[in-house]
Chain A
Amino acid sequence: MIMKSIRYKTIIASISLALIMSACSDYLDINKDPNNPTDVSLALLLPYSQAAIVGAVDNTAGGLTSHTQTIMGQYTQRGFMSDYGLQPNDFPIIIGWAQFYTEALTDLNIVINKGTTEESWYYVGIAQVLEAYLFSVAVDLWGDVPFSEAGLGSANPFPNYDSGEDVYNGIFILLDNAIENFEKDAPIATSDLFYGGDPDQWKKLAKTLKLKLLNQVRLVQDVTAEATALVNEGDLILDIEDDWQLPYGTSISPENRNPGFVQEWTAGGQFYYIDPYFFETMQGTETFFPGGNIFLGINDPRIPYYFFNQLSTADDGAAQNPCAYCPSRSGTPFLSIFAFSFNIDPNEGFDQGRSQTVPGLYPMGGRFNDGAGGVAANASALTAGQVSGPGNVPQRLLTSFQTKYILAELALAGLIPGDPRAFLEDAIRDSFAKVNEVAPLGSAPAISPTNINTYVNDVLAVYDGGGDELQVIMTQKWIASFGYGIDSYNDFRRTGFPVLHDGNTDNLVVTARTRNFPVSFPHELQDLITNPNAPPQRVITLDRVFWDPN
């Protein structure tokens, strides 16, 4: 009997267990992610997309400033890149593209949709300005890009590419809508990393961006009326207080420092050289491109804020390896390599991580060049021989000096009223003010008014000297823009200035240009492969963007 009882208990218990487990549908209802939310607030979405956009254009190996400053002769890099060797899978291209479309656009679309439902108009307006900016950069580099069908996810995984002109028209609408939204009553967008949610500042940015884009298209359409209206409204970024820029922090963990600083100030781990052509233009010399420097003899006081020399003496032997552009050439501890010298100059390939000149305080938060040298490092605890900078200098995106250079260009072209020379002077002074704004972050002295005045007068003398006035404006703008490269690349394709170093016409035997100047960027490779609606790859030496009739 005991046996029987055990037997039946076992059977009953087992069968009930089985039934309970199977019948209980809750047992399987456990697939809700406990780690990540399925909905978040606008206040959380906005800052990420803001940082992501800056990540696309920033001063790192994966930022678009990297390529554009190299093409524009501000940086040199070892290898093909300094011979216009752009590839469709280069870091800045694939990362810039991905940051725009997958990191920023998706979240910004959610902000716009959700913000419209919630009537959080400032969030909506900010997202519209940011989308306008990212699509404008995309058109300026890649010509035709997905716009009207972009960012729709699985609803349209293979978006068509719109013509650059159509995208620009859409951008102007986005900006006009944004301006309207900033004029409504709405809760402040408190999580805004740029302007603390201030709708007036954002309105200025929207209008300034519009002015910038009107200037961009001025060769292919008459922008006189619209540009003049914007100038007359006066609601533009005209003071360095209004500059659009991303402030960084000093925290290493989480990493909040200027990413250019994090990258370039890794001890001995430099990626960029400073292009000697850019350096000599600022130094007022021309040792390898006779006749190329319109500012010959004018020494720019911004040099120690722009570049940091790791060497402390102008002694070639102090370099860790034989040098290409050596201190003896410039008479300063500045050390670099020439563009167009890969595979020709045997000294191009040597490690100069501890000897080369690196981007300094102004562009990325490195150290002010006090002449003492030292190995550039970003570690929290420096070891013997290492020096560092503050690391928290903002990434500039659209500043008052840029506005004023745009005004100078528009005025010179006769598209707006005003004196281009006065706009130029204001622009130069604002660009110095910008350096002086950054100086205290690096415990650096301010550039004295005397030095500023001397420089301004010297440059205006060149402006007045009978040469090409546009060349003076654009060359100055190029110098001022150091640290944000995309506008210089646009400006060059629009105006032909500054005149760039050409490895085939200089007096160097160690340089040769084997490729032509790229008038646009190659389409990002992964999207070309995966999108059946993508156009054929661009021929970057021939396929211009729509606003470039040159």
Chain B
Amino acid sequence: MVAAHAWAQDRSVSGRVTSAEDNSPVPGANVVLKGTTNGSVTDSDGRYTLSVPATGGTLIFSFIGLQTLEVAINDRTQIDVSLVLDATQLSEVIVTASGIQREVKSLGYGVERVGGDKVSQVAEPDPLRALSGKIAGVNIIGSSGAAGSATRITIRGNSSLLGATQPLIVVDGIPYDNSTNNTFNQLTGGGAYGSRFQDIDPNNIASINVLKGAAASALYGTRGANGVLVIITKTGGSNPSKKGMEISVSSSVAFEQISNLPDYQNTYGTGVNFGYQQVNGSWGTPFIGTRDYANVETIPHWYNGIPGFEDLWGTNVPYRAYPNNTKDFFRTGVVYDNSVGFTAGNEKSNLSVIISNTSQEGYVPSEEFKRTNFSVGGNSILNNGLTVGGNLAYTNSFQHNTQGGANNAVGNSSAFARILYQGRNWDLQGQPYQNPLTNGSIYFVDVSQSDNPIWSSKNAGIESKTDRYVASLNLGYDIKEWLNVTWRAGVNGYTQKQTDWFRPGSRGAGGSGQVTNFDVRFQELQSDFLVTISKDINPDLNVRAILGHSLNQRDTESQAYQGTGYVDFYINDIDNTNAVIPAGGGISKRRIIGTYGDVSLGYKDYLFLNFTGRNDWSSTLPASNNSFFYPSVSAGFIFTEAIGGLPSILNYGKIRASYAEVGGDTGPYQIFPVYGVNPGSINQTGNAFPFTGSSGATLSNTARDPNLKPERTRELEAGLELKGWNNRISVDLAVYKKNSFDQIASIAIPQASGFTGLFTNIGELSNKGIEISVGITPVKLSNGFTWDVRGVYTYNKSRVEELKMPNGLPISEITLRNTFAGTVQSVHIVGQEYGLIKGTIAARDDEGNLLINPADGQLIADPNPAVIGNPNPDFIFGLTNTFSWKGIALSVVFDWRQGGDLFSTTVNTYLGRGVTKDTEDRELGAIIPGVYGDPNTGEPLRDEDGNKIPNQTNIGLNTFYFGNSFGINSQDEWAVWDATVFRLREVVLGYTLPKSILSKTPFGSVRVSFTGRNLWYLAPNFPEHTNFDPEISQFGNTNAQGFEFAATPSVKRWGFNINLTF
């Protein structure tokens, strides 16, 4: 400032900066006198004024996303310029680790930026799911079609065997917790609990920057191993508005339906072996008119003998199919999303306010998701040069779901227990679902087997209410022109209150009624202090160094209470129960201190080097092992700039390479053994302490390693970027190899040791992968029609390299997750891929022939389980075609997930219950190919000549799918299918009204669009008529993938959206 005053003011230049695209003013553009620090910033109307020397001089006009322009002043006093879009985006600035902005071209590693418009306005309340198929290297899978259910995202595979594999999400510099807070294990109860990223307002997302590799995320140290999503919100960003004041309105409505009902057979009703019975399976006698011999016209009423339905006792009902008894249970759901944004700004300050509301009624009756967001943020440069900014965001989320979980667990009561496999003659809609005497559930099978789904949707469920707040501030100051200090601090927290309830008369909770309240309070504090030094050593060599210090604290408190026995039937308040006990919870707090440095060197705009180092101290590790250092180095070389004489068709070419280390600590309180006081479950049926008046305590079943070390991940990455044919073809290729070692895990040790697990550093995991993004503009006509194609290909192989005990003894296998004791599990096996599915198999002889029990013609169980599936996809391919012409744009996202297995009880049950057309052609028996075996020894039987005896025992198709053969009463291996799926993920047809039409209206822009999501899919390797959508995962965003136990099926949506600005 002192220097500025000393400048000789000989004359002043003024003018206006506009955008060449639409001639709108460009506020906030930099205007600098070349070779000096003398400069100005354009105001809200794009105008500037600058004092310049009396003679000569050149002005440099620059603005993010527009091409920088140099204009000689000569003797002009008025210079208006029009800046054109930087088509190659070469000088695009991207936000990288710790909020550091860098030019994309200078990066030595892969980073991808997704605009906010890709996640809002696509009829998808969950912004993570909206990214599906759009980013190479990123795998996104929704847990179910239930409103508000969790979403799992992994970047470049899994970096941890048993620990967190979800990327760190950072919103405006503050980590954004994405936990799923389960009241119950989702296998044995509870609902499709949400993951907390759903609290963010998609309408407020300006951009999502995906830091995929370790080099990109190395500055996040302990938390960067799984990649980072750096999200900049509109209210948290620092770019001033283009106009002085703008109001934007976005409004959409979308409708949703179940996407995957099977093709039901309507020939046979319930029963066994072609005889009618009141049972689950539709293996009974055919309906009149479907087969010549059909002769059952009526059946006794299902509620015969049930107290409360005396008027139905002794009555008969027609024996007929109810083809829509499942379809009519579901409804057409609707999603409303409305948002209003206000932005105001000038060259010194800006302010943004966004208010949004999302309201979803799911396709499952009574399911809801609602979200209301208020966000406000602003930045200002004070007269003294201090930059001050801050933002506040508040979210209120509400989720209501039906009860889920696998129905074979004791005391479970899923609304989906039978709905998809109802007896074909069950008149669900025409019969009462509630017992007038007891208010309890009444259904076609006994309540001990299943609740009536209608009753369940009204009288059991989960409800979750979350209040979330984010507040942050930043202060910055340029001490010298080359020296800046910035401090950014914030808090991001929520309280979540969750209630699970079963009213009395349910299969769930012993039938007495049960209310479980689960309260969670989470708060994260983050502070970053950065000193930035920028120097041009000489005209060719630029240096920037950043020194930083960061503090992070995460603080969780949770408590569950369970009330048993309802007093009044309808009141889901825990005060309305007979007995209340605590049901788990606790306090946890963890802290990380980090210091880091980042040095970048740029040579002649084509060679870039970047070194970073971070040291973290974590509170969760032993004091002797709690300090660790993470280095990274990366380089980028733009060879098209450096080397002359390349073919002119090549516009741009860059190679890049990087090496980095990142890591992970563990959760709090994991290194010392502790005792559990008043344990909640002594045995199978949940006997609990206090027991007959006595309190009790037991040592935790996990042995602890007091010398625990942090997990580490080392990653090598190389990349190639090419653009050619006037930038109409672009390719971005990345290959990487990532090794994660000293993995922290609780490994299963023999229980005879007195413990079930040992918590220690266990082994090494590798990920190797290829990511390819290709953009092609095959057609670009002079009339404005363009056709853009963008393909993203993701290939990743995760391999378990080594597992060992602390004493070095190798281990071959660890269990990632048990499902039901002793049956199908998720396991890691040395030398194989991540998280394989292991389960029971049928016995086979040495040649692989199935062994058949000669007594019944069915399979014999092998006592030893084996690997029966690999849930990891071979590759994921996403293809986006965009056609645009004069404001009309049609974008179609297609994706293809190849391979990966799914253990599905839904599909298994479709077959076992005989409800789909797959099992309709059943009036023939079957002989299972195989040889006779001895069920006592598991050895093949032999004839007098010592030869194996081929199976010749015919079994009915009923037995084929219901007995110990290939259906629900058989080994786990028969419930695994290849989950390859092709999908029409998203279709958006939008129309942006021309400015010429709007010029006489108050509107700055108007855009209308039609959106469809998941309109079509094909999973060719599932039984044809099940129409099964395998994009489902029982365990939400946990590491155990490839399991489905009666999960809520997926959803399809279509909707309309309008965006206005004025």
Contacts and interface: CB of A to CB of B under 8 A. Distances in A.
Contact of B682 (A52, A157, A385, A527): A52
B856 A379 contact: no
B748 A379 contact: no
A39 B675 contact: yes
A105 B755 CA distance: 10
Given A55-B684, A85-B861, A103-B698, 9 more contacts: A37-B674, A47-B696, A52-B683, A80-B861, A154-B758, A262-B510, A262-B687, A268-B447, A385-B307
A527 B448 contact: no
Contact of B688 (A34, A47, A79, A256): A256
A351 interface: yes
Contacts of A359: none
A48 to B, nearest CB: 4
B888 interface: no
B564 A252 contact: yes
Interface stretch (A86-94, A166-174, A208-216, A234-242): A86-94
Going nearest first, the 10 A-B pairs with the smallest beta carbon separation are A89-B822, A268-B448, A62-B684, A55-B683, A48-B696, A35-B586, A253-B579, A151-B754, A36-B674, A146-B752
Given A3-B385, A351-B449, A156 B753 contact: yes
A380 B564 contact: yes
10 contacts: A3-B384, A28-B593, A31-B669, A36-B669, A36-B677, A106-B755, A193-B692, A268-B447, A526-B822, A530-B748
A89 B821 contact: yes
A309 B587 CA distance: 49
Contact of A157 (B305, B700, B749, B935): B749
A383 B505 contact: yes
A514 interface: yes
Interface of A: 2-3, 6-7, 10-11, 14, 17-18, 21-22, 27-40, 44-45, 47-49, 51-52, 54-56, 58, 60-63, 79-80, 85, 87-91, 94-95, 97-99, 101-103, 105-107, 109-110, 145-146, 149-154, 156-159, 191, 193, 247-249, 251-257, 259, 262-263, 266-270, 318, 320-322, 343-344, 346, 349-351, 353-354, 377-381, 383-385, 512, 514-516, 522, 524-527, 529-532, 534, 537, 539, 541
Contacts of A101: 751-754
A526 B755 CA distance: 12
A22 B479 contact: no
A354 B448 CA distance: 9
Contacts of B222: none
Contacts of A33: 668-669, 672, 674
A396 B505 CA distance: 32
Interface string B945-987: 0000000000000010001100001000000000000000000
B752 A267 contact: no
A14 B675 contact: no
A275 B581 CA distance: 38
Contacts of B693: 249
Residues of A contacting B: mostly: loop
A259 B752 contact: no
A253 B529 contact: no
B529 A28 contact: no
A48 B698 contact: yes
A256 B564 CA distance: 13
A124 to B, nearest CB: 17
B686 interface: yes
B775 to A, nearest CB: 43
Contacts of A529: 813
Contacts of A48: 679, 682, 689, 696-698
A49 B694 CA distance: 12
A384 B579 CA distance: 22
Nearest to A533: B750
A506 to B, nearest CB: 15
B272 interface: yes
A28 B626 contact: yes
Contacts of B935: 514-515
B618 A51 contact: no
Given A31-B668, A107-B699, A526 B751 contact: yes
Nearest to B505: A383
Which residue, of B579, B700, B703, B863, has the highest number of chain A Cβ atoms within 10 A? B863
Given A48-B698, A159-B752, A539-B937, A22 B684 contact: no
Interface stretch (B116-124, B273-281, B493-501): B273-281
Interface residues of B, number: 131
A254 B698 contact: no
Interface stretch (B38-46, B145-153, B438-446): B438-446
Contact of A37 (B675, B679, B861): B675
A36 B278 contact: no
Contacts of A106: 698-699, 701, 754-755
Nearest to B752: A146
Nearest to A512: B855
Contact of A525 (B447, B749, B822): B822
A268 B748 contact: no
A23 B638 CA distance: 43
A151 B753 contact: yes
A146 B752 CA distance: 6
Interface string B541-566: 00000000101000000000011111
A149 B754 CA distance: 10
Nearest to B531: A14
Contacts of A531: 750, 752
Which residue, of B587, B623, B821, has the highest number of chain A Cβ atoms within 10 A? B821
B701 A60 contact: no
Which residue, of A33, A49, A52, A87, has the highest number of chain B Cβ atoms within 10 A? A33
Nearest to A319: B305
B705 interface: yes
Interface in B738-759: 748-756, 758
A154 B487 contact: no
A40 B705 contact: no
Nearest to B959: A343
B684 A10 contact: no
Given A31-B619, A252-B512, A256-B687, A10 B677 contact: no
A385 B964 CA distance: 36
B883 interface: no
Contacts of B1008: none
Contacts of B889: none
B580 interface: yes
Given A36-B674, A63-B683, A110 B699 contact: yes
B410 interface: yes
B865 interface: yes
Contacts of A145: 752
Contacts of B680: 254
Contacts of A527: 750-752
Nearest to B584: A35
Given A10-B477, A44-B696, A321-B279, A97 B691 contact: no
Interface in B249-281: 272-273, 277-279
A259 B272 contact: no
B308 A268 contact: no
Contacts of B694: 47, 191, 193
Nearest to A539: B937
A453 B551 CA distance: 82
B751 A14 contact: no
Contact of A378 (B510, B684, B806): B510
B564 A253 contact: yes
A85 B964 CA distance: 13
A196 to B, nearest CB: 11
A194 to B, nearest CB: 11
B332 interface: no
Contact of B277 (A36, A94, A350): A350
Contacts of A149: 752
Nearest to A86: B863
Contacts of A88: 863-864
Contacts of A52: 682-683, 698
B452 to A, nearest CB: 14
